[in-house]
Amino acid sequence: MKLLIRQLEVSLEYTTDDVLKAVSRRLNCRSNQISSCEVTRRSLDSRPMRSAPVFVLTAEVVMQSGFSLPQHAPKDVEPVSNENEQPFISSPLPAKAEFKRPVIVGAGPAGLMAAYHLAAVGARPILIERGARAEDRRAVVDAFWRQGTFDPENNVLFGEGGAGLFSDGKLTARSKDRPRIRHFFQTLVDCGAPTDILIDAEPHIGSDVLQKIVPEMRRRIEAAGGETLFNTAMTDLLVENGRLTGLIAGGREIRTDNLILATGHSARDVYHLLGERQATLQAKPFAVGIRLELPQRQINQAQYGKFAGHSKLGAASYKLTRRPEGNARACYSFCMCPGGLVITCASENGALTTNGMSYSQRGSIWGNAAFIVPIEPADYAGFAGPETHPELAGLNFQLAMEKAAFLAGGGNFSVPALMLPDFITGKISANLPADRSCPLSKPASFDKILPDFVLSTLRTAIPKMLRELNGVNQNSAIVYAAETRSSSPVRVVRSDDGFSPAIAGLYPAGEGAGYAGGIVSSAVDGLKAAEQVAARLHG
């Protein structure tokens, strides 16, 4: 008999024996009646109501023959069968199948996972990336962060691994598609990620480890017959009678019937190209705001109390929300990076945005998160302009804030920064902490960077939100402007078959398509697109 047992509480220093004892207590059985026990999920409960933090586990248990559950099974115990959740299974293409090789544009999470799947089924995909390979990005990005040296094609946002290569590496899974999520996580583990990501409720890899995993994914794609082209920008789509026939990339014409477009939400030129080629686009809501950092020890103390600093706890995170009140809109924290760094990002000269990142050990003395305000299409409708596709007005809205941030920072990619009390009162800080995580930053007013309704919401909401972190000293918080790319302001419409209703064979996928947000949902979306392409190749 196989059982799924939830809500097993164990100490922070638990061992395998501790898990077996917890199972035995729940089932009221002897430990020798348990054939096997596998932890499938682990979360931390550090609520103040507890005398000490505990791990809460879910375990899959196989019992010896002869064991039977009582008529009224214990709470959070249920029998399971292998059919309850089928693992993801690839379907190989026939060995002699004839087809034009599918193309994936963009080597972020969606594009990499799409190429990985298509290579595994024998489709020999071509993966095209406008930036450099992961191994060559590090030095370029470091120079940008230190000196503001900018390359429009190879930077924090463009290159193998996408923007996610230089972010926190959080694997937050909002999707309920557990088989595909599991398949993605297992792929990461196969390529070098720690096995803990398979069970942790809030799995994290870190940018340093991602920079080793991504090249291994590429090597496996190539070993299975795939091809990768770097420093190769797509400049046009070839469309005949509403059907994709190929693309132009790096000055070369590549013929294909199936193209997965996984270019992310920072490739603005791609959105404009789609508008010119009559792809169906929609404006969509997104959110903008600032990035706020606090001393990580204060966050740890607020979340863990006297257990702050425990070796099994690591750097604490938080999630804060605020409902609308008066003239202030809703506000929420996003992409919290414990023990992390605030970083500068740019996809074009003369404009900048911010993001957060951390390494696998989350060892920075600072923790940061975006605090963002929802934006509706009606808020940016006036930014379309006479030469802009109306559905792309959100891109101009973003760009206006990013250009203003660039100018406010002095025109050298320094990030505008203020102490939180000065931001609240509209002052420019005289000094910033010398050890702040983003040294290429300078005091500057935010008043001409963000819209008035965003500023007023943030000034109203943030102090109230931070009060939920008991003991945090708001005077020590630093804010950076501006956080503009939490998600895409554009959706590239697709049909149930996965491709554009206006361009058959063009499969928009990932964050840039407006159907995903974050590493996990983007990878799952790319995987689904690859499945649809594979089904089409199967005929």
- CA gap 134, 154 in Å, rounded: 10
Are the C-beta atoms of residues 435 and 293 closer than 8 Å to each other?
A: no
Pairing mode, if any, of strands 77-79 and 54-63? unpaired
Confidence at 75, pLDDT banded by 50, 70, 90: confident
User: What is the DSSP annotation of 469-510?
Assistant: STT--GGG-EEEEEE--SS-SEEE---TTSS-SSSBTEEE-S
What is the rounded average pLDDT of the residues 389-399?
94
pLDDT per position as a tens digit, 33-52: 999 999 999 999 998 888 89
Cα–Cα distances in angstroms (integers) from residue 201 to residues 4, 118, 171, 482, in the given order: 16, 29, 9, 30
Count of beta carbons in the 10 Å neighbourhood of residue 24 = 16
Residue type, 496: D
- CA gap 488, 261 in Å, rounded: 14
pLDDT per position as a tens digit, 286-299: 999 999 999 999 99
Are the C-beta atoms of residues 364 and 247 closer than 8 Å to each other?
A: no
User: What is the DSSP annotation of 142-179?
Assistant: HHHHHH----SSSSSSSSTT-GGGGS--B-------HH
The number of C-alpha atoms within 13 Å of 200 and in the hemisphere containing its C-beta is 14
- CA gap 293, 308 in Å, rounded: 18
Quick one: tokens of 128? 């095209």
Question: What domains, with CATH codes, occur in the chain?
Answer: 2-79 (3.30.70.2700), 103-283+489-538 (3.50.50.60), 286-384+392-483 (no CATH)
Q: What is the predicted pLDDT for the residue at 83? A: 59
Cα–Cα distances in angstroms (integers) from residue 40 to residues 13, 18, 168, 476, in the given order: 18, 15, 23, 39
What is the rounded average pLDDT of the residues 357-381?
96
- CA gap 370, 480 in Å, rounded: 9
Quick one: tokens of 429? 């800080």
- CA gap 102, 246 in Å, rounded: 10
pLDDT per position as a tens digit, 301-355: 999 999 999 999 999 999 999 999 999 999 999 999 999 999 999 999 999 999 9
Residue 452 burial by CB count (10 A; 0-12/13-18/19+): exposed, middle or buried? exposed
Confidence at 82, pLDDT banded by 50, 70, 90: low
Q: What is the predicted pLDDT for the residue at 235? A: 97
Residue 481 pairs with which residues in a beta bridge?
A: 290
SS3 22: helix
Rg of the chain over CA atoms, in angstroms? 25
Residue type, 187: T
pLDDT per position as a tens digit, 475-522: 999 999 999 999 999 999 999 999 999 999 999 999 999 999 899 999
Helices (H), 148-267: 178-190, 207-223
84, pLDDT greater than 60: no
Q: What is the predicted pLDDT for the residue at 386? A: 74
Q: What is the predicted pLDDT for the residue at 87? A: 66
408, pLDDT greater than 80: yes
Residue 66 pairs with which residues in a beta bridge?
A: none
Confidence at 74, pLDDT banded by 50, 70, 90: confident
- Quote the DSSP letter at residue 186: H
